[in-house]
Structure 1
């Protein structure tokens, strides 16, 4: 696996998007980036989006990227396998950056996120991509792996990662999943899920003690109801996340929600949401993807001056200091 730093191309204006959505358009599917005043096609093709057992999500597909852009979003704790059959992929989880290139041969990487992270993906006009992502909830791992299992040890480290050597069977499994992109019948769904588990087993067999790269700190998350609340927040940071809405979503009283959140994370719910939005804004400013006014708007602040004050309290410097260096 290649770990690299992204650079900005001086003569190409790269757009940035936080929100994307997928729509059907005749025989094609489009990914649109939602800006304040318009929607711009980002990619078109045949996309996979399948979820089962509330613990496994499969997505990807074959697509053509239509515009130069950067997608930024928040990712909950996850165990993620990315298989690239065609094209190039540039993406990152916080400061952990990857450039996968299938020019020589298909490639893959597995990454463990033991806590929420900011995800960034680059799109480049004309890039033809064929890829598959398998995303597993952390509990899926803990329920199956023993304490001495390398997979369990891998899952204890935030941003642990390893390059995967794709053998012929893995490639055949990936192609079979891609071909069965929209399972409809009971038999098709069972086939899709069996293929997913088989491919995951082949990938995880390559994880051995000392074979993967890790961060310095071990993190052992508590897989409680609070974890599910955090996952929900991470997936909906662009929405209006009121305490009343969150409490109703998880059949709790507001006071119970606040108490559990504080006990587990030592943060209030509102404080956590505010911090995560500020962290995303900081990453975007550091990469030169966004103006301070845009960052304030997307972080939920109506006035840039309030955003500046909150940013400085959180990170010790005003956003202008970060933006001025770009």
Structure 2
């Protein structure tokens, strides 16, 4: 009997599941042809309370995939039950999971967003993660926590933009979360009401652990060398975001940052799970697409912006990345 292929998630499905919670959702996968699914596995959204959203993702990346989005104000919590998740909220770069490289066993995080904030997820081809993500809107926070916000510990956690807590959740919370990913029992799937109540209980337990005050907010505890490297990567991200990096070779970038070329390549891949060259190519193509669509530049000018001397080569790369020809953006 042939093996049943795993379910897949394409771009439309991924964006549909994310659209209630993010804006300006962009997906970058250098080897993706736009026709193939991006992920294998399952992903679904549950809303146990008004203003509380729980997303369950048990997925494997089919490509090196960078997801970028703008997150509205609110609270984000994430619990990684297996595999690893590499994410960035503003200036916070995090690797979560029970088997992180440094053995920290940091499986959960809470971050407070007081304003719209940039977010990135860095997926690696064949990388797996089983993650429960909770979004709490300002309306939920006002409704459920207003009477408690006077406490200093809560203010430190929720009242400051990008205030961050990481911890390893209790065994009870982890087991409760695992049950949501394996809802089959001897009598069949969990009834809808039971699933909603278990999801609500798991989410409230995670929130309670994060705000219990039994673990301090994350502080910078790296040595001076690691801190200096982080600052260099933050500067590199700023150069990429402003477009300054597009005009420089990688050797020139490394010199600007006070690093060797090999060190820059190694640190970028370690932090973001993709080579710097691939990341820059995708970002240049994205900038060229924006110029074509919003500014009406010529295809030749867009090719130059993306770093291509040949309009034909640019058109091939553009169609591979976005599924359309550059000329279609100008119509």
Q: Which TM class, normalised by the smaller chain length?
A: 0.5 to 0.7
Asked if the contact 1:284–1:290 (Cα under 8 Å) also holds between the matched residues in 2, the reply is no
> Paired residues, what number?
220
Could you tell me how far 1:99 is from its partner in structure 2? 1.7
What whole-Å deviation, never above 9, does each CA across 1:197-252 have from its counterpart, x for those lacking one? 233223322467xx22589xxxxxxxxxxxxxxxxxxxxxxxxxxxxxxxxxxxxx
The question of 1:190 aligning with 2:182 is answered no
Could you tell me how far 1:289 is from its partner in structure 2? 5.4
The question of 1:294 aligning with 2:286 is answered yes
Alignment of 1:1-326 (within 5 A): 28-32=7-11, 38-103=34-99, 104=103, 105=105, 107-143=107-143, 144=145, 145-180=148-183, 185-206=192-213, 211-213=216-218, 282=241, 288=280, 290-292=282-284, 294-298=286-290, 301-304=294-297
The CA distance in 1 between the partners of 2:72 and 2:190, in whole Å, is: 26
- In the superposition, relative to structure 1, how do residues 28 and 284 fare at CA in structure 2: closer, same or farther (>3 Å)? farther
1:15 alignment partner in structure 2:
none
Asked if the contact 2:28–2:65 (Cα under 8 Å) also holds between the matched residues in 1, the reply is no
Range with bigger deviation, 295-304 or 155-164: 295-304
- In the superposition, relative to structure 1, how do residues 203 and 183 fare at CA in structure 2: closer, same or farther (>3 Å)? farther
Larger radius of gyration: 2
Q: TM-score if structure 2 supplies the norm length?
A: 0.56
What whole-Å deviation, never above 9, does each CA across 1:76-95 have from its counterpart, x for those lacking one? 11211111111121111232
Could you tell me how far 1:106 is from its partner in structure 2? 6.0
Could you tell me how far 1:122 is from its partner in structure 2? 0.8
| Structure 2 alignment gaps of length 5 or more | 12-26, 221-237, 246-278, 307-331
- In the superposition, relative to structure 1, how do residues 107 and 291 fare at CA in structure 2: closer, same or farther (>3 Å)? closer
The CA distance in 1 between the partners of 2:157 and 2:138, in whole Å, is: 11
| Structure 1 alignment gaps of length 5 or more | 1-24, 216-278, 309-318, 321-326
Asked if the contact 1:42–1:67 (Cα under 8 Å) also holds between the matched residues in 2, the reply is yes
The CA distance in 1 between the partners of 2:194 and 2:134, in whole Å, is: 20
The CA distance in 1 between the partners of 2:33 and 2:244, in whole Å, is: 21
Q: TM-score if structure 1 supplies the norm length?
A: 0.56
- RMSD after superposition: 3.8
